[in-house]
């Protein structure tokens, strides 16, 4: 009887440690995935800022608002960056138009 209880206790302890290890591994994988997502988000923000700065530079060298938008829009869409495109459209919509001044 005692041997059976000891065997049961050993098996239950082993199962608990395996479950604990599985949970820890899953948590580690989730943490690594979150870290990758954060880095990707930072890269997207940098790219969006660069596209908007490119728009401002192109507009300031007197290319024109529409042509600047087309160039930057093509750059964002080539990189499949939808957030960058929406930010660019917002900047374009509220940027003062000096073409006809």
Q: What's the average model confidence in pLDDT over 81-100?
A: 64
Q: What is the pLDDT of residues 7-58, one digit of tens each?
A: 555 555 666 666 666 655 555 555 555 555 555 555 667 777 777 777 777 7
Higher-pLDDT residue of 38, 59? 59
Please write down the long-range contacts of 59-66, taking CB distance under 8 Å and 24 or more positions apart.
59/95, 64/99, 65/92, 65/95, 65/97, 65/99
Predicted confidence band at 67 (pLDDT cuts at 50, 70, 90)? confident
What pLDDT does 54 receive? 75
Q: Where are the domains of the chain?
A: 2-94
């Amino acid at each position: 009887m005692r041997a059976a209880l000891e065997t049961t206790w050993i098996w239950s302890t082993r199962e608990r440690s395996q479950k604990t290890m599985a949970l820890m591994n899953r948590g580690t994988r989730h943490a690594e995935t979150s870290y990758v997502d954060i880095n990707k988000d930072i890269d997207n923000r940098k790219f969006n800022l660069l596209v908007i700065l490119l728009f401002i530079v192109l507009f300031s060298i007197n290319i024109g608002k529409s042509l600047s938008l087309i160039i930057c829009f093509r750059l964002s869409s080539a990189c499949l960056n939808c957030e960058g495109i929406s930010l660019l459209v917002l900047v374009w919509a509220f940027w003062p138009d000096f073409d006809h001044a």
